[in-house]
Structure 1
């Protein structure tokens, strides 16, 4: 694969230069169709009943004993039909999105179409809304279209940078996922079964959905097929397409609307099955140089649809072959496609050449502020932290007074006040420590990568810690807290070695680092979902609470790892504050000044991993804190890390503590995990950063 496949100019070159002669399209298509047909036959043989391959072959030969036909018609054909529809819809949708945005990383996932459609469907179910004029497809379509429009607007129609498109889509998807998780927790009865469905499941109770949506998807595919010549000309660039008589804006809008409609149909049938829309057309485009005419949309769209079917059916066959048909009933097929797609994204990112503006040091502020202002800012943050901490202790399902807190501190409180504060103090302490840890970790990572949009959750470190902890929790339910903490540390360390090792190979490219991290993070989330569904499929709240970050049930022992990590890591990071100033500038300046850059990076990243692992072990996975706190600190106190570090620590502690406070009080006595609130608070700021950086160019 040429590295330029990920750049915004790659599709234009593909449209302008025909590939060298190679395999005939009919032969390649026939081979893929034959392989897909074999997969479909294998797919029909898998299930929980005793119907096997011989019975299926007998049924195809016209020999039906009554049982075989009933089983195949009731369960296996609907599942196969769902796989065919979903795979074709997602593959074609991804191909069109990539062509229109001229970005090979565009897909229903990276444009947040799946997340928007999922949120819309869950919202309607949670609130009990009746939408007879729209139906499930209309609701999913509107949600997906709104998400795609927002992401494309933030990323400059997807044409400014591959990494910018993925960052914008990831931010919107995380925010929508937080809202979706909140609804699933608040309306657990109304949305029962939608957690596993949220990862994409081919299980069907009949053919009703497929028969309803197949004509709609077929019509969308037909229109796209008829517009294939216009899509070909779009790849030449807007100006050349206009000269050739193409209505550029009209064609782009029509193509995006039809692609979103296909993605919405897929979500309605099977839930948001991840990464098929990215991987299927990307694989086809990789094969285009060797297959004559495959770069043209008249062949690209059907080939991507067929490849999507192959990937979806292949994932479902692999899933049931590995874990068995009984267990596979509860496991979403989208978990497997997400893992595969994430690996594919990592492979693409590993071979990309950096072209995004987010890698530039210009994204890091170089301004300085006066000592008086810096001291004033830090003082205000300390007062704010104290106010939020005290409010966290006093507010909740039971309201307390300052006198109650004073009596508790002096040991004179009554049993009710003591009981409340004995449980509330560790929660507030955990929020403060976790927020400070994530903020310092984000500061170090941003300095090392020279990317103000990097943070522990986005680059996969939090996900790795989560996988390590969940493995122990699910495999050894009686494991102690320290065992879980150690597992989280090991998971974070392993993922960090993978992410940073792949990113730094051949020279550090921060765009590549972020893309690899996003892929690893998606894979980690899928693995966590798989582990929880396999071991405890009925306890959705357990999964959502862990993945959302919660201080519920924390005790003083849960604070120890975070406190120790801060005591060990913060002095190391603080001692290297001048080094971080230089690393944030460029690659050459610190070397010229005698700094051992590899050693400094290793120390900073190791400290960041330690802080992230301890916070995940303490309260679960919390996103955006490591992004928002350092960036806000930089805006308040300037570019010196001597001031950024304490300001970020205070801001991170305030953000998580405030999220925990709102989660405990907004709907008391019910509660929302702190991580959901920090995502809802942090995502808009992240979107603002992307929008502002786009306007500055």
Structure 2
């Protein structure tokens, strides 16, 4: 389905051209030139003021008066040392990172002709970050040049992959962001796995992974600055070609532009700038999205600023302002010594997520909605359905037994029978007392996520939707972490209630924001992804503020794990399934018609909005119960319903039980594999499902890329 914008987001108010681009005539009057100069001066003044304010903030007692005395030559050595060793490098890093990401995002948005393209949504930052973590795990202490080259290669590989899947962004914002999100989640899963398995080698990289401009000296900034400056100059020199590219491939080719070469060079420049920013400060989130969007919004009011030779430098100024403002906000809002530990990227991600939601709300469908909820489905006979149900039930039983027997200590079926009879030995009793709740949590949470995915895919009419991509999982995670942080020694029920409240509130937010002029599938997904990114940043912020030295706990929760589960933690998800599954079965026919379009349900007398709202509430509750049991687990809600439709057809009377069984199979298998393959060390189940589910998701995107 193609998408349009209510307004020209990439160039509001500018004349439209073929291919969705915009071109603005050169300023023709002195007043227009003066306005352009005034805008740049105002931007530079804002950045200068933010830089000066940032210089006065820090953990030491050096204040404004001490810095002013330095300017007059009467300052003391302590103030000079603080300025040179800490604050100045921090501010310079903010300027460097902001300028690099601003230009990088501006170039990527122009190349993809997509207002949501950025180093984050194209997984450039994730690809660069994983290479840094791999180098740390291998114990490589690389010089800055080699480290920068490594991050460049990682970012380039990720961006090329995402652009190939999304047809260079031509398939629309929704598809581009979905492809980038799937790739980013797969790479993040690898990163989290490495940090969990090699905790000592990757010490301190969890917070750094959100992006922080805190520096120990100015060496990195000094080494990166010349390359960043050259890359920005080349991008500005290349600006004329980007202007032509905005006219559309055919028009640009007629005018003599080598489109393929232009795209290649532009992407290389953008990835280089983003990789250098990661090398200096880590992946500072969404600056590459927010800075160009801000620049284009200003350009909508300033004639001539849309031209790339002016737009890119202004995006650099906007990036500097965003990064420095985020750093200033952190240091003003959080006590000085605690503020040092809060990554700058947390605030920039929150800003970027808000902008993504705002852009998503401006999206409108430009054509009829396709029936996408049944992609890959086919009619199945009763015998086939019975066979599938029988095989899946046998698999669930087999995985239940395997989960009890396998792990860091191998048991026999006789040991399990003796435990059930109460006559097992002390060691067997100890092992099974810990293992049984874990196995049950994985089975029940997997079933809950499979059902939640089934519901949300029918409501959204999108086989690529799942609770995690709609922000519900992240919201439940925020609720659980808040309950844990605010209530020391919180009980299982307290955490479960927190997860439910977080999921319901997040669902309400996503639903409300995406219901403008009727619920749009693409708008729902984009808003959900933006809210999910914000939720992840909030979780990171809470962990850094409450348990800064316990990042393994945070990583385990964010990765989804059954570690340390007790019988009490299994009850909430079990109760949720008992109460909510009958509701889904009752609504099975409504799910069938909701998956078609908005007209058929109304003709058949279905209360469309009320039924849709009820189904999404059920989705939120199922997701929250699963998060309270196993943490944040992704892709089970994507894979289970999709496979269910492929096996038994699109009728939800069949899909609902099959998806529940498949969800249980997928998560239980992931949990057993994670506990066994590198025992006594363990891989969180959520990482295993992400490593399986992300490639499957990417395959779905690739399979349907030409029909999008």
| Fold similarity call, TM over 0.5 | yes
Q: Tell me, which stretches of 5 or more residues in structure 1 are unaligned? A: none
Tell me, what secondary structure is at the counterpart of 2:167?
Answer: coil
CA positional deviation for 1:420: 1.1
CA gap of 1:116–1:470, structure 2 versus 1, over 3 A, is same
Q: Distance in 2 between the 1:341 and 1:506 partners? A: 24
**Structure 2 residue 297 is matched with structure 1 residue 291:** no
**Structure 2 residue 657 is matched with structure 1 residue 654:** no
Q: Tell me, which stretches of 5 or more residues in structure 2 are unaligned? A: none
Tell me, what secondary structure is at the counterpart of 1:353?
Answer: strand
CA positional deviation for 1:25: 1.3
Equivalent residue in structure 1 for 2:686, among 669, 672, 675: 675
CA gap of 1:257–1:24, structure 2 versus 1, over 3 A, is same
Equivalent residue in structure 2 for 1:3, among 3, 6, 10: 6
Residues 487-543 of structure 1 deviation map (CA, whole Å, 9 limit, x = unaligned)? 111111111110001111311111111111001001001001001101111111011
**Structure 2 residue 652 is matched with structure 1 residue 641:** yes
Residue of structure 2 equivalent to 1:382: 393
Residue of structure 1 equivalent to 2:137: 126
Tell me, what secondary structure is at the counterpart of 2:540?
Answer: helix
Q: Distance in 2 between the 1:470 and 1:334 partners? A: 20
**Structure 2 residue 58 is matched with structure 1 residue 55:** no
CA gap of 1:631–1:6, structure 2 versus 1, over 3 A, is farther
Residue of structure 2 equivalent to 1:77: 88
Q: Distance in 1 between the 2:625 and 2:698 partners? A: 28
Equivalent residue in structure 2 for 1:113, among 124, 136, 141: 124
Q: Say if 1:20 and 1:290, in contact at 8 Å, map to a contact too.
A: no
Equivalent residue in structure 1 for 2:22, among 15, 27, 44: 15
Once the two structures are overlaid, the 10-residue window that deviates more, 120-129 or 40-49, is 120-129
CA positional deviation for 1:200: 0.3
Q: Say if 1:14 and 1:295, in contact at 8 Å, map to a contact too.
A: no
Residue of structure 2 equivalent to 1:392: 403
**Structure 2 residue 534 is matched with structure 1 residue 523:** yes
Q: Distance in 1 between the 2:71 and 2:125 partners? A: 36
Q: Distance in 2 between the 1:132 and 1:79 partners? A: 20
Q: Within 5 A, what are the aligned runs for 1:212-361?
A: 212-354=223-365, 360-361=370-371
CA gap of 1:580–1:395, structure 2 versus 1, over 3 A, is same
Q: Say if 1:161 and 1:355, in contact at 8 Å, map to a contact too.
A: no
Q: Distance in 1 between the 2:126 and 2:68 partners? A: 40
Once the two structures are overlaid, the 10-residue window that deviates more, 54-63 or 448-457, is 54-63
Q: Distance in 1 between the 2:199 and 2:367 partners? A: 42
CA positional deviation for 1:460: 0.4
Q: Say if 1:7 and 1:161, in contact at 8 Å, map to a contact too.
A: no
Residue of structure 2 equivalent to 1:25: 36
Once the two structures are overlaid, the 10-residue window that deviates more, 102-111 or 4-13, is 4-13
Residue of structure 1 equivalent to 2:476: 465
CA positional deviation for 1:367: 3.2
Residue of structure 1 equivalent to 2:512: 501
Q: Distance in 2 between the 1:482 and 1:597 partners? A: 34
Tell me, what secondary structure is at the counterpart of 1:41?
Answer: helix
CA gap of 1:19–1:649, structure 2 versus 1, over 3 A, is farther
CA positional deviation for 1:624: 0.6
CA positional deviation for 1:243: 1.4
Once the two structures are overlaid, the 10-residue window that deviates more, 239-248 or 306-315, is 239-248
Once the two structures are overlaid, the 10-residue window that deviates more, 55-64 or 554-563, is 55-64
Residues 104-138 of structure 1 deviation map (CA, whole Å, 9 limit, x = unaligned)? 11000000000010001101111224666962101
Equivalent residue in structure 1 for 2:220, among 209, 213, 216: 209
Residues 233-259 of structure 1 deviation map (CA, whole Å, 9 limit, x = unaligned)? 000111111111111111110110111
**Structure 2 residue 635 is matched with structure 1 residue 632:** no
Q: Distance in 1 between the 2:83 and 2:172 partners? A: 47
CA positional deviation for 1:356: 9.0
CA positional deviation for 1:407: 2.2
Equivalent residue in structure 2 for 1:364, among 356, 371, 374: 374
Once the two structures are overlaid, the 10-residue window that deviates more, 127-136 or 446-455, is 127-136
Once the two structures are overlaid, the 10-residue window that deviates more, 582-591 or 18-27, is 18-27
Q: Distance in 1 between the 2:39 and 2:655 partners? A: 57
Residue of structure 2 equivalent to 1:592: 603
Q: Say if 2:395 and 2:665, in contact at 8 Å, map to a contact too.
A: yes
Q: Say if 2:144 and 2:223, in contact at 8 Å, map to a contact too.
A: no
Residues 48-77 of structure 1 deviation map (CA, whole Å, 9 limit, x = unaligned)? 111111222232334322222221011000
Q: Within 5 A, what are the aligned runs for 1:572-587?
A: 572-587=583-598
CA positional deviation for 1:600: 0.9
CA gap of 1:393–1:128, structure 2 versus 1, over 3 A, is same
Q: Say if 2:90 and 2:214, in contact at 8 Å, map to a contact too.
A: yes
Q: Distance in 1 between the 2:331 and 2:440 partners? A: 44
TM-score (norm 2): 0.96
Q: Distance in 1 between the 2:133 and 2:606 partners? A: 52
Q: Say if 1:86 and 1:270, in contact at 8 Å, map to a contact too.
A: yes
Residue of structure 1 equivalent to 2:623: 612
Q: Within 5 A, what are the aligned runs for 1:527-546?
A: 527-546=538-557
Equivalent residue in structure 2 for 1:169, among 169, 180, 194: 180
Equivalent residue in structure 1 for 2:49, among 27, 38, 47: 38
Q: Distance in 1 between the 2:27 and 2:601 partners? A: 46
